[in-house]
Amino acid sequence: MNTAAKQHRFSTYHTHLVPPSVLVSVFLLLILLTIATVAATWIDLGQYNIWIAMIIAVAKAALVALYFMHLRYDSPFNALILVIALLFTTMFIAITLKDTVINTRNLQPPPSAASNTG
Amino acid sequence: MWIFLATEILMFGGLFCAYAVYRAAHPDVFLYAHHFLDQNLGALNTIVLLTSSLTMAWGVRSAQIGKRKLLVIMLMLTLLGGLGFMAVKTVEYKDKWQYKWLGFHNMFYPGNESLRDEYFKKHDHDSGHGDIDLNHDVWHHDEMMDEPDTTSSSDIEQEVAVSHTLQTPPHSGPPGLSESYLHPGDRTDSDPHDTQITFNNLSPTDQYRVHLFFQIYFLMTGLHGLHVLVGMALIFYLLVRAVRGHFSPAYYTPVDLIGLYWHLVDLIWILLFPLLYLIH
């Protein structure tokens, strides 16, 4: 009865309590992933190393956003804002990168480096 | 609050973009230069920041259920985490400050070879300055066309032949660039994965660009550090209010929002750590 009353009291404030067990297990998972990402650099996987590092980093970021920032329990609108921001950042980086890769080799050397450096 | 966080992401996005462009263009530079960062300190800082995120999230929870004492303890621990992070960062920056790596005195700038030699001597690093003829300067015309990673040796020969024809007389460019690129045999076609990369087997154009890594490093970690400081100030403000008993299950929004900000700072570090410290 008492707990039910409490539950009701909190629900009027749109609160979702993240239980400590979830917080701690997310934290332990984050530490584990940190160790994993450091350990991954000991193994040479060529170009896949960067992908592994980034996948682990994104997984960690997702854990922080979903549980510590309680996005999972929030209105989806908040998540939408985050996803859109990330989407635009990704577009920004991807287009710039593509442009750099394509155009760098077409760039002409400076007409006279000697006059620039005096 | 989430819209503010989105603008923060976009602000850091610009820096991540700069990082991506330079790393894509000069992978060897990043591979070489990141050895100057201490991986252990970086990992330690990640763990410190993650712990402070945990205590912050727990603090929000205690505010939600009206446990004032627990909230105060959690905020104190979070503040301590921020302090710890900044302390480790100070140790890292101080090491670089000693060799005047901040400002215009970065030892990898052209013109600062004496600083670089001094550093290499002191740290018994692979300077190989015997190979670098400081009196004989060469300016590179093929900077923009240089493709460090993919060129086969015959391509390099061609490139060098082209650069010969474009070359201006010596002594006209910034000092400190090795002459070795003129002799393709001297240039180690650097496969970063089977040899430890050294300053000398970077191509001279890449040697000239090492400072870019540090500029990006200082800009990204500097802006992040600034965010940590702001976050610490905000958490201190929360702490004062929590001690005065301003927060209750009915009113804990400031704790929640500043918590979100703190987690975002943590989140950005999570991305920075592998990008700057764990280059492979």
Which tens digits make up the pLDDT trace of B95-120? 777 665 655 556 676 666 666 666 66
Contact across the interface for A81 and B6, Cβ inside 8 Å: yes
Q: Can you give the CATH number for the domain in which B249 is found? A: 1.20.120.80
Total number of domains constituting chain A: 2
By residue range, what is the domain housing residue B141? 130-197
Length reported for chain B: 280
Q: Is the Cβ pair A85, B10 closer than 8 Å? A: yes
Give the CA angle between residues B257, B48, B211 to the nearest 5°: 100
Mark which of B174, B197, B220 sits at the end of a domain.
Answer: B197
Within this chain, do residues B64 and B140 fall inside the same structural domain, yes or no? no
Q: Is position B255 within any domain? A: yes
Per-residue pLDDT averaged across A20-29, rounded?
93
Q: Identify any residues that bridge with B251 across adjacent strands, giving them in sequence order.
A: B248
Stretch B46-73: mean pLDDT: 93
Mean pLDDT, rounded, for B182-207: 54
Are A57 and B250 within 8 A, CB to CB? no
B43 chain-A contacts, CB cut-off 8 A? 34, 38
Asked whether residue A24 falls in the same domain as residue A63, the answer is yes
In a domain, B118, yes or no: no
pLDDT of B172 higher than 50? no
- Pair (A30, A64) in one structural domain: yes
* A35 within a domain of the structure (yes/no): yes
Residue A93 lies in a domain: yes
Domain presence at residue B257: yes
The range of the structural domain enclosing residue A84 comes to: 75-104
CA distance B92 to B96: 7
B218 shares a domain with B186:
no
Instruction: Find out whether B211 and B13 touch, Cβ atoms under 8 Å.
Output: no
Q: In the predicted model, what is the mean pLDDT of residues A44-50?
A: 82
Range name among A99-108, B27-36, B100-109, B173-182 with the lowest pLDDT average: B173-182
Q: Could you tell me if A64 lies within 8 Å of chain B, comparing CB atoms?
A: yes
Q: Mean pLDDT throughout A20-42?
A: 92
What three-state secondary structure class fits A107?
Answer: coil
Which of B175, B197, B219 is the last residue before a domain boundary? B197
Distance (Å) from the alpha carbon of B4 to chain A's nearest alpha carbon:
10
| B266 in A contact zone (CB under 8 Å) | yes
Q: Tokens 């000398």 label which residue? A: B200
Q: Please, which contacts does A104-113 make with residues 24 or more away whose CB atoms are closer than 8 Å? A: A104/B25, A104/B144, A104/B145, A104/B147, A105/B144, A105/B145, A105/B147, A107/B144, A107/B145, A108/B144, A109/B141, A109/B142, A109/B143, A109/B144, A109/B145, A109/B166, A110/B141, A112/B168, A113/B139, A113/B140, A113/B141, A113/B168, A113/B172, A113/B173
**Which pLDDT score is estimated for B189?**
41
**Domain count within chain B:** 2
How far does CA B20 lie from the centroid of its chain? 12
What is the least distance, in Å, from the CA of A1 to any CA of chain B?
17
Is A41 within the bounds of a domain? Answer: yes
Q: Would you call B104 an interface residue with chain A, using a CB distance cutoff of 8 Å?
A: no
Check if the beta carbon of residue B42 is closer than 8 Å to that of residue B95: no
Task: Identify the DSSP state of A28.
Answer: H
Using CA atoms in the order B43, B48, B49, B50, what is the torsion angle rounded to 10 degrees? 90
Task: Examine residue B36 and state whether it is found in any structural domain, yes or no.
Answer: yes
**Does residue A97 fall inside a structural domain?**
yes
Q: Is residue A100 part of a domain?
A: yes
Q: Are residues A24 and A69 in the same domain?
A: yes
In a domain, A11, yes or no: no
For residue B185, pLDDT beyond 50: no
Average pLDDT, chain B: 74
Top-confidence residue, B274 or B175: B274
Q: How far is B46 from chain A (nearest CA, A)?
A: 8
Whether the predicted pLDDT of B187 surpasses 80: no
Confidence band of A50 (pLDDT split at 50, 70, 90) = confident
Output the six-digit token pair for A52.
């592994």
Q: Which residues of A touch B44 (CB under 8 A)?
A: none
Domain assignment present for residue B110? The answer is: no
- Short-list B147, B176, B141, B175, CA closest to B161: B141
Q: Are residues A69 and A99 in the same domain?
A: no
Nearest to A65 by CA among A78, A55, A84, A54: A78
Same domain, A59 and A79: no
Q: If you average pLDDT over each of A57-66, B147-156, B163-172, which comes out highest?
A: A57-66
Co-location of A40 and A64 in the same domain: yes
Please check whether residue A111 lies inside any domain of the structure: no
| Residue A94 belongs to some domain of the structure | yes
Question: Is the pLDDT confidence value at B138 over 60?
Answer: no
Q: Is B98 exposed, middle or buried (0-12, 13-18, 19+ CB in 10 A)?
A: exposed
- What residues of A are in contact with residue B56 (Cβ under 8 Å)? 68
**pTM for the model:** 0.73
- For residues A56 and A94, state if they share a domain: no
Residue B144, pLDDT > 60, answer no
Are A88 and A65 contained in the same domain?
Answer: no
Tell me which residue of B255, B112, B82, B256 sits closest to B177, measured CA to CA: B112
A24/A64 same-domain check: yes
Residues A28 and A55 in one domain: yes
Q: Last residue of some domain: B171, B197, B223?
A: B197
